[in-house]
Amino acid sequence: MNNNDKSRVCPVELAGSLDSKFRKIFQNPKKILKPFIKEGMTVFELGSGPGFFTKSISELAGPTGKVIAADLQEGMLEIVKAKTEHSELKDRIQTHLCKSDTIDFFERVDFVFAFYVVHEIPDKERLFAELKLILKPGGRMLIIEPPFHVPKHDFRKMLDILVGKGFRVIDSPKFFPNRVVYLELTE
């Protein structure tokens, strides 16, 4: 969902750098997500890439939960499918190809997770309006953005848009050096 400007997203050719064991030392998916994802949740993972977080999300959501790994690039989703093809998690993970200007998804979910992706999407108003439509009442969202791409004033502008769309900030968890917000849909 980035108006066809694929230069703003990490290309499939660099997927290995997004999925390294070294990365897990600094960005451990279970440690980051355990406080937010509960058994039985349906989770929409915006910008899943090659699935660095996807398996952990599925494990935390448990056998009654579901993960929708959504990405703009079919190649990234193919990597997710290949990684889970022969796993017990296969039936809990669904991939979804977003369009260049919309997430194009209509199922209701309990939780949205967006890691290092919102800054890549030019039309945040539209993105947050679409996420509002797919979140169940009281649904929650965790957004984590890199400070080297998202200055404080841009992050505050994003929060203003979210509040204007009917989201309430629950917390700003510390996850150095990132900018993090945990929100609830109030409308």
- β-strand partners of 71: 97
- What's this model's pTM, rounded to 2 decimal places? 0.91
Tens of pLDDT along the chain (187 residues) come to 444 444 467 767 665 666 667 667 788 999 999 999 999 999 999 999 999 999 999 999 999 999 999 999 999 999 999 998 888 888 999 999 999 899 999 999 999 999 999 999 999 999 999 999 999 999 999 999 999 999 999 999 999 999 999 999 999 999 889 999 999 999 7
Cβ-based neighbours of 180, under 8 Å, separated by 6 or more: 142, 143, 144, 145, 172, 173, 174
The strand order across the sheet containing 66-71 reads 93-97, 66-71, 42-46, 109-115, 135-145, 179-185, 167-171
Asked whether 65 and 43 are in contact (CB, 8 A), the reply is yes
Residues 72-102 have pLDDT tens digits of 999 999 999 999 888 888 899 999 999 989 9
pLDDT score recorded for residue 130:
97
Residues 122-138 have pLDDT tens digits of 999 999 999 999 999 99
